[in-house]
Structure 1
Amino acid sequence: MHPKNILVVEDEPKILEFISSYIRNSGYNPIIAENGQKALHLFNSESIDLILLDLMLPDLSGEEICRAIREKSRVPIIMITAKTDEDSIIVGLNMGADDYITKPFSPRQLVARINALFRRSDLIHDSESPTTGPFKINDSDYTVLLNGHNLLLTATEYQLFTVLLGRPTKVFTRDELASIAFTKYYEGYNRSIDSHIKNIRSKISNYTTDNYIRTIRGIGYQYCDQESCE
Structure 2
Amino acid sequence: MPHILIVEDEAAIADTLVFALEADGNATTWLSLGGPALELLRQQPVDLVILDVGLPDTSGFELCKALRRFSEVPVLFLTARNAEIDRVVGLEIGADDYVVKPFSPREVAARVRAILKRTAPRDPAPASVAGPFQVDGERVRIHYHGQPLGLTRHEFRLLQALLAQPERVFSREQLLDALGVAADAGYERNIDSHIKSLRAKLRQVAPAAEPIQTHRGLGYSYAPDNA
Q: Is this a same-fold pair by TM over 0.5?
A: yes
Q: Which residue of 2 aligns with 1:115?
A: 113
* Alignment check: 8 A CA contact 2:171 2:219 kept: yes
> Following the alignment from structure 1 to structure 2, what is the Cα–Cα distance between the partners of residues 99 and 164?
24
SS across alignment from 1:116: helix
Quick one: which of 154, 157, 170 aligns to 2:168?
Answer: 170
Q: Report what 1:8 is aligned to.
A: 6
CA-based RMSD of the aligned residues comes to 2.5
Q: Any unmatched runs of 5+ in structure 1? A: none
Is 1:98–1:154's contact at 8 Å kept on the other side of the alignment? no
- Which whole-Å deviations, capped at 9, do the CAs of 1:52-105 have from their partners, x for residues lacking one? 222111111112211111111222222222332222222222222233333333
CA distance in 1, matches of 2:107, 2:162: 28
Structure 1 window deviating more from structure 2 (88-97 vs 55-64): it is 88-97
Question: For 2:71, which of 65, 70, 73 is the aligned residue?
Answer: 73
Relative to structure 1, the CA distance from residue 57 to residue 120 in structure 2 (aligned partners, 3 Å threshold; closer, same or farther) is same
> How many residues in Structure 1 have an aligned counterpart in Structure 2?
226
Residue 38 (structure 1) aligned with residue 36 (structure 2): yes
Any conservation in 1 of the 2:51–2:76 contact (CA below 8 Å)?
A: yes
Deviation by residue 1:175-226 (Cα, 9 ceiling, x = unmatched): 222344354473354322212222222222232222221111001111221x
Query: How far apart in 2 are the matches of 1:65 and 1:56?
Result: 11
Q: Give the C-alpha shift of residue 172 in structure 1.
A: 1.1
**C-alpha contact 1:134 1:147 (8 A) present in aligned 2:** yes
Distance, in Å, in 2 between the alignment partners of 1:99 and 1:144 is 26
Give the Cα–Cα distance (whole angstroms) in 2 for the partners of residues 143 and 108 of structure 1.
Answer: 36
Per mean C-alpha deviation after superposition, the further-off stretch among 79-88 and 11-20 is 79-88
Residue 223 (str. 1) matches residue 222 (str. 2): yes
1:1-230 to structure 2, matched below 5 A, reads: 3-122=1-120, 124-181=122-179, 183-184=181-182, 186-209=184-207, 210-225=209-224, 227=225, 229=226
Output the TM-score relative to the length of structure 2.
0.85
Structure having the higher Rg:
2
CA gap 1:196/1:39 in 2 versus in 1, 3 angstroms: same
CA distance in 1, matches of 2:128, 2:79: 36
Letter aligned with residue 103 of structure 1: K
Output the CA distance in 2 between the equivalents of 1:73 and 1:195.
Answer: 19
Letter in 1 for 2:214: T
